[in-house]
Amino acid sequence: MSRFAAPIAEQIWDMKYRLKSANGTPIDQTVDDTWRRVARALSVSEPTQEERFYGALEDFKFLPAGRITAGAGTGRAVTLFNCFVMGTIPDSMSGIFDMLKEAALTMQQGGGIGYDFSTIRPKGADVTGVAADASGPLSFMDVWDSMCRTIMSAGSRRGAMMATMRCDHPDIQDFITAKSDAARLRMFNMSVLVTDAFMEAVKEDGSWDLKFDGKIYHTVEARDLWNKIMNATYGYAEPGVIFIDRINQMNNLNYCETIAATNPCGEQPLPPYGACLLGSINLAKLVKDPFEANAELDGDALSELVTTAVRMMDNVVDESRFPLEAQAQEAQAKRRIGLGVTGLADALLMLGLRYGSDEAAAQTEAWMKQIARASYLASVELAKEKGPFPLFDADKYLASGSLQHMDDDVRDAIREHGIRNALLTSIAPTGTISLYAGNVSSGIEPVFAYAYTRKVLQPDGTRTEEEVVDYAVQLWRDKFGDKELPDYFVNAQTLAPMDHVKMQAAAQKWIDSSISKTINCPEDISFDDFKDVYMEAWETGCKGCTTYRPNDVTGSVLSVSESSEKTPEADTGADVVYISEPLDRPQSLEGHTYKVKWPDSEHAIYITVNDLIINGNRRPFEVFINSKNMEHFAWTVALTRMISAVFRRGGDVSFVVEELKAVFDPRGGAWMDGKYIPSILAAIGSVIERHMIVTGFIEGEGMGLKSDPQAEVVNLGEAPRGKACPSCGQYDMRMVEGCMTCGSCGYSKCG
């Protein structure tokens, strides 16, 4: 009998977590083999714990972050940590590019990164010694964005980045509006570091100084600046808001670190070179007698599972590789972990509680407190056995904000024995691992959709459809058949925004790091009501706030009817065909050859683009790149083969242009036809783009697909809206825990 509760769960395991050889042959024959591999790897230093670790993993009760499940015990040189906050960016050209190099090395091993760009002097400021004006932090963020698009993360996912900027930086207004351009800084999530003083100034309608290095550059009205932040996120979902003073006040380590940035999804505020190590307790697996009058979560099983999970995650600190030595030292000095939950909404449903109700909020707070107690006591036991984290200072540690409301018996144990891990709890995005666990509700989010139809691409190029059902809904069906769902079944689309805030605040009290949570807002929410969501989040103790309102820039999420288990699809459109096998080359093709003369290069490069003509429409089919310069031979041949292979697979291949144009040469680019081209590869990309425009394949420079002659119209009644998933092509992108995530294949920019 399969361990998987749904076909999608097995597909996610096979695609993302199953260990395979270099040629794709499975090494993990079953998911039990995967659990055994991870358990063995994390118990190398204490083999007697292997069976205990395996028992926690078994049946998807404890879900380590995806990097642990995919990387532990494989022998591969990858980090088991999800994300990092990088070092403080120096306000100097050499220091900035040293930080860029560190970012590239970190993303090369698969880590997402966060940066505070507040330390870079504002645009127009004097640059000492060179008689020039500073270009400002936004210009350097463009460089980071280009680098991130160039580097492929470990596995098959692009790197994710978070950029933060203080609300008093002189360039904050440009930061706020930067992503109104849908093509700019798309590899970044962006958040404003909002201080308590600023929020008080907003409430009192006071003025606000924008300053850098002690110099006041501008004075604005605080409420005007706040409205600018709110307008941006109301219009295109960014920037988010991070309540940075609260984060530092509540930080267990505020005596030895200052936080100014978070990881890409915001649940881990971290110091320079800090890393987030994540794992989630699957609450949906711990409910006894679901949907019955005596339904309850097994408290003893929860405490035991938390204790085991803490030991496993503490071992990851010692077993993981790190891209940079500074990251390894930071992790060893503080041993911070981020144990969270998933399946919360499903567990509440099984108890008959409506997500967002006062009763559900109270139950959530009680569960989070039990997890906090169990994790802190487990870490104390580890400290007895292995010693506390090296920077532990009992008096200073216990004086921190988050320890003030901890129970006295826990505080006394910490004072007497120390604690192994400086911070222990965090609620992370769990989109992919929740699918892997049988489509349980994600993190502390409400159920997104009771059920939806997913298209699966088959090896022969055809698509089949399968229904993906929420874990709790499927359990209800198994118990009660077609009996109507009770009225306490609610979903993300029908909840009032303030219900989301209430649940986030209830959980935050016992989470010593932070929470990745998206507050879904209806498209027709008034601007004043939208602003009230953020003010309520601040006043109720949240450490940040991320909302999602359907908009023209990021697209619309699929709508869900409260009375229906089905997620309707959207209006009109067509699927792009993704060809499973490359097409055979016809005997003749039509094309054009272009000449590129790169400055300081002795020989020109010639680029030939040949097209396939289908029903009178042209689409690029192959590329040839040639040069007499033998230094170019290897990479021009490689580029010829790779681009042609992509073109022959079909679909929207215009992304090739985008990727080439994003490549910059650290030695410098060149001015060509009045435009600055960052590299010779970018020049090649521009040539291919011009060809695509002339042949009508794309609409214009920097624009997407015009019409796809390979597109087939699929009659769905209603068709998808918003953007297609870059991984599977389905129109099922949705905002989950601060990150656009595909409901069909689990793809997420943030991991």
Say if 1-82+277-516 and 83-262 have the same CATH topology: yes
- What are the structure tokens assigned to 713, written together? 């119209």
Q: How confident is the model at residue 561 (pLDDT cuts 50, 70, 90)?
A: very low
Does residue 518 have a pLDDT over 70?
Answer: yes
The whole-number pLDDT of residue 222 equals 98
Does residue 388 have a pLDDT over 80?
Answer: yes
What pairing do the DSSP bridges indicate for beta strands 240-243 and 188-194? parallel
* Lowest-pLDDT choice from 347-356, 367-376, 586-595: 586-595
Q: What is the pLDDT of residues 703-745, one digit of tens each?
A: 655 443 333 323 323 333 455 565 555 556 666 655 677 665 6
Mean pLDDT, range 114-132, rounded to an integer? 87
Asked if omega into 678 is within 30° of 0 (cis), the reply is no
Q: Among 77-91, 358-372, 560-574, which range has the highest average pLDDT?
A: 358-372
Question: Over the chain, what is the mean pLDDT?
Answer: 86
Q: What is the pLDDT of residues 233-263, one digit of tens each?
A: 999 889 999 999 999 999 999 999 999 999 9
The whole-number pLDDT of residue 730 equals 57
d(CA 744, CA 736): 13
Q: What is the pLDDT of residues 658-700, one digit of tens each?
A: 888 878 776 777 777 767 788 888 889 889 988 988 888 887 7
Q: How confident is the model at residue 150 (pLDDT cuts 50, 70, 90)?
A: confident
Q: Which residue type is seen at 172?
A: I
Does residue 629 have a pLDDT over 80?
Answer: no
Say how many CA atoms lie within 13 Å of 660 toward its Cβ.
Answer: 20
Confirm if 451 and 473 have CB atoms less than 8 A apart.
yes
Mean pLDDT, range 496-520, rounded to an integer? 96
Residue with tokens 């989040």: 537
Higher pLDDT, 578 or 613: 613
CATH assignment of 1-82+277-516, among 3.60.110.10, 3.90.1150.10, 3.40.50.2000, 3.20.70.20: 3.20.70.20
Catalytic: which of 102, 257, 267, 622? 267
Mean pLDDT, range 46-51, rounded to an integer? 97
Known catalytic residue: 265?
Answer: yes
The whole-number pLDDT of residue 721 equals 43
Exposed e or buried b per residue across 644-682, where buried means at least 16 C-beta atoms within 10 angstroms of its C-beta? bebbbebbbbbebbeebbbbbeeeebbeeeeeebbbbbb
Catalytic: which of 83, 148, 167, 265? 265
Provide the 3-class DSSP secondary structure of residue 22.
Answer: coil
- Of the candidates 438, 103, 149, 126, the one whose C-alpha atom is nearest the C-alpha of residue 285 is 438
Residue with tokens 């109104």: 180
The whole-number pLDDT of residue 702 equals 64
The whole-number pLDDT of residue 577 equals 33
Mean pLDDT, range 334-348, rounded to an integer? 97
Provide the 3-class DSSP secondary structure of residue 4.
Answer: coil
Residue 572, class by beta-carbon neighbours within 10 Å (0-12 exposed, 13-18 middle, 19+ buried)?
exposed
Confirm if 349 and 470 have CB atoms less than 8 A apart.
no
Does residue 21 have a pLDDT over 70?
Answer: yes
Helical ranges in 131-213 per DSSP H:
137-150, 172-177, 196-204
The whole-number pLDDT of residue 555 equals 54
Mean pLDDT, range 383-402, rounded to an integer? 96
d(CA 311, CA 428): 19
Q: What is the pLDDT of residues 186-234, one digit of tens each?
A: 889 999 999 999 999 999 999 999 999 999 999 999 999 999 999 999 9
Catalytic: which of 82, 263, 491, 610? 263
Does residue 51 have a pLDDT over 70?
Answer: yes
Q: Which residue type is seen at 726?
A: P
Domain coordinates in residue numbering, the chain: 1-82+277-516, 83-262, 590-694
* Lowest-pLDDT choice from 59-73, 152-166, 378-392, 582-596: 152-166
**Torsion (CA) 141, 143, 149, 155 in degrees, nearest 10:** -80
CATH topology for 83-262?
Anaerobic Ribonucleotide-triphosphate Reductase Large Chain (3.20.70)
The whole-number pLDDT of residue 28 equals 96
Does residue 76 have a pLDDT over 90?
Answer: no
The whole-number pLDDT of residue 726 equals 55
What pairing do the DSSP bridges indicate for beta strands 451-457 and 463-469? antiparallel
Say how many CA atoms lie within 13 Å of 403 toward its Cβ.
Answer: 25
Confirm if 426 and 340 have CB atoms less than 8 A apart.
yes
Exposed e or buried b per residue across 333-372, where buried means at least 16 C-beta atoms within 10 angstroms of its C-beta? bbbbbbbbbbbbbbbbbbbebbbbbeebbebbbebbebbb
Known catalytic residue: 659?
Answer: no
Q: What is the pLDDT of residues 270-327, one digit of tens each?
A: 999 999 899 999 999 999 999 999 999 999 999 999 999 999 999 999 999 999 999 9
The whole-number pLDDT of residue 579 equals 38
Mean pLDDT, range 422-438, rounded to an integer? 93
